[in-house]
Homo-oligomer: A and B are copies of this chain.
């Protein structure tokens, strides 16, 4: 698969997180000549938080993770690419358990401390017999290095054309803290996280409820604010762990003032990872940022942004570099959210287009057309009726998307 034209030109440095060891292996379940299995392990049980798909047809590993999560601790995360083990009934649940048991045995853990994630084809039972034989060597070879993080980001890919890894260095009090995350995803990406996986680790010492508050809050503004095709996966999973290797004053709440810098760093890391997923949107040639302001409330702003970001007509117009702003008007109208046609202000690339329910008399389409030729498209929609805001990221809809998805399984 050709690297996305929107991929970052270079991989920024990734920083290993104290207390996190990783390793990868090749099972050959779907992909040949590349690693497709990733293990992340911890010396001792660590605080864990997660956001899991809201799909009512969730996969077997998502069911498993929900159970582990209820105890707030994990000691290992195993992830495979190419088979989602979703809609696989009782057999799928058994396959999941076999994997967890193999990891637990190799590491001397309790199986209920092992988290699992799988992505790929739906409806085929995970062939755990192709995974479990790799576990002892996988566990023995784990290491806490930058290159292991990058190999992990590579191994969890399915149709992704580039690996996604981001680090931040921050402080809690005076203590230096590292946060590093990896993610995968490029299709079936929609508001509720779609087939995306994200694994984020920090050496901070945070209780599971605080970690969960941070993760949930920023997921809304990052992984839940991106859309490639409006489809939501059965396997969406973001897991965050805190290894507590750093010593800093205790933190009781996500709103604790001492956590402000950490929270900013985490939010920015999550948005960067999320936007990377859009940059790898199947067939994407343009990254589209949609800023909605002046809506009735924040949730309304988000739904309006998603109505625009999920509109095939808006997305194909942008693919064609056509400044067809009328389709943005259409998408606002269909969102079902409160809007006043005659108050609606639309700008593309910062160039104002509408006023008083119509095109501005001084509107010069040539400037917008010029903006549309770039690969970073910005749409601003101001409703002028309230103070609700949201930002959504999406990509254009191209022929390549159709080619990729009409022929994914074969």
**0/1 interface trace, chain A 310-351, chain B, CB 8 Å (1 if under):** 111100110110101111011111111111111010000000
Min CB distance A388 to B, Å, is: 15
A125, A354, A402: which has the most chain B beta carbons within 10 Å? Answer: A402
Instruction: Kindly identify which residue among B57, B124, B326, B406 contacts A319, using a CB–CB cutoff of 8 Å.
Output: B406
Partner of A313, one of B229, B316, B317: B229
A329 to B59, CA, bound (A): 11
Q: How far is the CB of A312 from chain B (nearest CB, A)?
A: 4
A231 in complex: contacting residue of B190, B322, B334, CB < 8 Å: B334
Decide if the interface of chain A is mainly helix, strand, loop or mixed.
loop
Q: Are B402 and A330 in contact (CB under 8 A)?
A: no
Q: Which residue of the partner chain, among B88, B313, B338, B358, contacts A88 with CB atoms under 8 Å?
A: B358
Indicate if A299 sits at the interface (CB-CB under 8 A): no
Cβ 8 A contact of A406, one of B57, B322, B356, B405: B322
362-400 of chain A: CB within 8 A of chain B: 397-399
In angstroms, Cα B330 to Cα A54, docked, is 11
Q: In this assembly, does A269 line the interface, its C-beta being within 8 Å of a C-beta of chain B?
A: no
Tell me which of B56, B87, B329 contacts A358 (CB under 8 A): B87
User: Which of A2-10, A89-97, A171-179 lies at the interface?
Assistant: A89-97
- B-facing mask of A50-70, CB < 8 A → 1, else 0? 000111111000000000000
In the A-B complex, the 3 residue pairs with the closest CB atoms: A122-B326, A320-B406, A89-B358
Instruction: Please report A residues at the B interface, Cβ cutoff 8 Å.
Output: 53-58, 84, 86-92, 121-125, 187-188, 190, 192, 229-234, 310-313, 316-317, 319-320, 322, 324-327, 329-342, 344, 354, 356-359, 397-399, 401-403, 405-410
- A sample of 12 inter-chain contacts (CB < 8 A) reads A57-B344, A86-B329, A87-B358, A89-B342, A123-B359, A231-B327, A312-B401, A319-B406, A320-B407, A322-B409, A322-B410, A398-B402
